[in-house]
Structure 1
Amino acid sequence: MAEEPRVLYRKQGHVARITLNRPDVLNAMDLRMHEELAAVWDDFEADDNLWVGVLTGAGHRAFSVGQDLKELVQRVENGEPPSTFGSRGKPGWPRLTERFDLSKPVIARVNGYALGGGFELALACDLLVAADSATFALPEARLGLIAGAGGVFRLARQLPFKTALGHLMTGRRLAADRALALGLVNDVVPTAELDTCVDEWVEDLLRCAPLSVRAIKEAATASLSMSLPQAFATRFTWEERRMHSEDALEGPRSFVEKRPPKWTAT
Structure 2
Amino acid sequence: MDLRMHEELAEVWDDFQADDDLWVAVLSGAGTRSFSVGQDLKEAARRNSEGTAGPATFGSRGKPGWPRLTERFDLAKPVVAKVRGFAMGGGFELALACDIIIASEDAVFALPEARLGLVAGAGGVFRLSRQLPWKTAMGYLLTGRSMDAQRAYELGLVNEVVAADDLDACTDQWVADILRCAPLSVRAVKEAATASAHLPLETAFAMRYPWEERRMHSRDAVEGPRAFAEKRAPEWEGR
The TM-score, its normalising length taken from structure 1, stands at 0.89
CA distance in 1, matches of 2:165, 2:103: 11
Q: Deviations over 1:66-113 (max 9, x none)?
A: 000000001111112212100011000000000000110000000000
User: 1:68 — aligned with what?
Assistant: 40
The corresponding residue for 2:111 is 138
Letter in 1 for 2:218: S
Q: How does 1:242-253 map to 2 (within 5 A)?
A: 242-253=215-226
Question: Where has structure 1 moved over 4 Å in runs of 4 or more?
Answer: none
**Alignment partners' CA distance in 2, 1:215 and 1:146:** 33
The whole-number CA distance in structure 2 between the counterparts of 1:178 and 1:41 is 30
- In 2, the alpha carbon distance for the partners of 1:191 and 1:250 equals 38
Instruction: Indicate which of 233, 245, 250 corresponds to 2:206.
Output: 233
1:89 aligned residue: 62
**For 1:258, which of 220, 231, 237 is the aligned residue?**
231
Post-superposition offset of 1:237:
0.6
SS in 1 for 2:197: helix
Residue pairs, 1:120-139, within 5 angstroms: 120-139=93-112
Counterpart for residue 167 of structure 1: 140
* Structure of greater relative contact order (alpha carbons < 8 Å, 6+ residues apart): 2
Q: Which amino acid aligns with 1:228?
A: L
Q: Secondary structure at the match of 2:76?
A: coil
- Which residue identity does 2:89 align to in structure 1? G
For the pair 1:50 / 2:30, whether they are aligned, the reply is: no
**How much has 1:56 moved relative to structure 2?**
0.2
Deviation at 1:243, TM superposition (A): 0.3
Q: Secondary structure at the match of 2:14?
A: helix
**Counterparts of 2:215 and 2:48 in 1: how far apart (Å)?**
47
Q: In the aligned structure 1, how far is the partner of 2:131 from the partner of 2:161? A: 17
CA distance in 1, matches of 2:28, 2:47: 27
Query: Paired residue for 1:207?
Result: 180
Structure 1 gaps, min length 5? 1-28
- Over the matched positions of the two proteins, sequence identity in percent amounts to 71
Tell me the CA shift for residue 220 of structure 1: 0.5
What is the distance in 1 between the residues matched to 2:33 and 2:56?
29
TM-score (norm 2): 0.99
Aligned ranges 1:183-222 → 2 under 5 Å: 183-222=156-195
Equivalence for 2:81: 108
Distance 2:202 2:179 in 1: 31
Residue identity opposite 2:228 in structure 1: F
Three-state SS of the structure 2 residue aligned to 1:225 is coil
Q: State how far apart, in whole Å, the 1-side matches of 2:5 and 2:95 are.
A: 16
DSSP 3-state at the match of 2:196: helix
Q: Compute the RMSD of aligned alpha carbons.
A: 0.5
SS at match of 1:49: coil
- Aligned equivalents of 2:146, 2:128: Cα separation in 1: 13
Aligned match of 1:6:
none
Q: Distance in 2 between matches of 1:84 and 1:45?
A: 26
